[in-house]
Amino acid sequence: MCRIGLSLCSIGLMLACSMASTAMAVEISRQDFQGAVGMCKASTPAYNASLRNRPLGMANESSSAVYVTCNWQGDDTQNGTRGARRVFVVVGNTSTAPKTVACTLVNGFQSGTTTVATYTPKTVTVAAGAAATIAWVPGDIAGGTDQIKLPALSCNLPGGTTLQYTGKQYNEDVGA
Amino acid sequence: MIFPLAFVGALVVAVLVMRPKMPNEPVAAAATSAAAPDASNKARSAAAMMAQDPLPQLLAQDDRVLEERTRYLAALEAAYRAEPVDSQWAAMTERALVDVSRGDALAATRIKPNAWSVQCHSRSCKMSAVFGDYDDAQDWANFFLTGTGGILAQAELSVRRDVGGTTHVLIFGARR
């Protein structure tokens, strides 16, 4: 009788443990760092002539502004967790005057000729010789999303500015 | 009586198993049955992966994407039309958006919008333009929106090829 009771207890404990392990998926916060040259490029071939691609940044060495386009990795799975909790770019100013850098986060995709995307523009003024960060969080995008699922970027870099690096914070599901 | 029958049966099985293979004989049944679970696993795994891959789903949903996008833009249009007009904010914002469209950065692209129109109410603005080329329309809309940080909180973009060969850009921008 006692042995049967113990066995039932063991089975119950095992069931409880297995149910707990499936219910308690653990997410760890990660941040990916990526130099701008690795994920950005001139928006049109004409802008290539103005850009210098260095290990530590994509620099506009001309006197006129250029447009560049970047893409982060996203997550479009329905219950995926790897969409961004924050994306950011760091821009530097190597000139002797303050410069305004304008970027718009493009969250979405294109299907054929149909564009399904939300544009969230931001600007930052960078002091001479300094650097500044432009960041986006899910709250910047209307619609109640908790992640930026398909992030891409368009930036206008005035002459003398450098797109230095980019970052993405996301959660990774590491199981129980 | 049973023994001789069993012996004959065993002999037939032995002959079938041990007979020499013909040159064009298909792969041995044993090998096939051993490989079958592998192939089946691979098929399941690919199916599971495809279920996670958004691209086939999105491509398969092409009609639905267009339909939903059209419905969403119609809802934005209706919301925009229903807004009262805040004339002070509308005039200031319209001027700022027109300034972006006429700025040096966009002028340098040499892409010129036709029938460019900007109208703001109290919480949103509606912008539209027509282009002779689809790619120019895409580029110009991206570049324009990149410069609207500080004016708009976010924007939704539609780039639609018209029957006559022109491309119609429609933007709804939300107030900051």
The residues spanned by each domain of chain B are 58-175
The answer to whether residue A169 is domain-embedded is yes
Residue A137, pLDDT > 90, answer: yes
Which candidate, A73, A67, A71, A136, places its Cα nearest to that of A102?
A67
The answer to whether residue A9 is domain-embedded is no
Q: Domain residues for A129?
A: 25-173
Are B168 and B130 a contacting pair, CB within 8 Å?
yes
Which chain B residue shows the shortest CA-CA distance from A159? B105
**Which has the minimum average pLDDT: A14-18, A89-93, B28-32?**
B28-32
Which candidate, A114, A89, A106, A46, places its Cα nearest to that of B142?
A106
Domain count, chain A: 1
- Looking up residue A61, the CATH number of its domain turns out to be 2.60.120.260
Are A63 and A159 a contacting pair, CB within 8 Å?
yes
Q: pLDDT tens digits for chain B (176 residues)?
A: 454 555 445 444 444 444 433 333 333 333 333 334 444 454 544 444 444 544 445 545 667 778 888 888 999 999 999 999 999 999 999 999 999 999 999 999 999 999 999 999 999 999 999 999 999 999 999 999 999 999 999 999 999 988 889 999 999 999 98
Strand partners, B160: B168
The question of ipTM being above 0.85 is answered as no
* pLDDT at residue A115, rounded to an integer: 86
Give the Cα separation of A48 and A68 in Å (integer): 9
A86 CA: distance to closest CA in chain B (Å)? 17
Residues of chain B neighbouring A156 (CB-CB closer than 8 A): 105, 143, 146-147
* DSSP state for residue B144 in the 8-state scheme: H
* pLDDT at residue B69, rounded to an integer: 86
A143 CA: distance to closest CA in chain B (Å)? 11
Residues of chain B neighbouring A102 (CB-CB closer than 8 A): 146-147, 149
- Fold held by B58-175: Gyrase A; domain 2 (3.30.1360)
Which candidate, B42, B49, B126, places its Cα nearest to that of B83?
B126
CA dihedral B13, B19, B23, B27 (to 10 degrees): 30
Contacting A residues, span 26-55, partner chain B, CB-CB under 8 Å: 43-44
* pLDDT at residue B60, rounded to an integer: 54
Q: Give the H/E segment covering residue B7.
A: helix B2-18
The answer to whether residue A76 is domain-embedded is yes
Higher pLDDT, A69 or B66: A69
Which of A44, A69, A109 is nearest residue B58 as measured by Cβ atoms? A109
For chain A, what is the mean pLDDT? 88
* DSSP state for residue B23 in the 8-state scheme: T
Local confidence band at A116 (pLDDT 50, 70, 90 cut-offs): confident
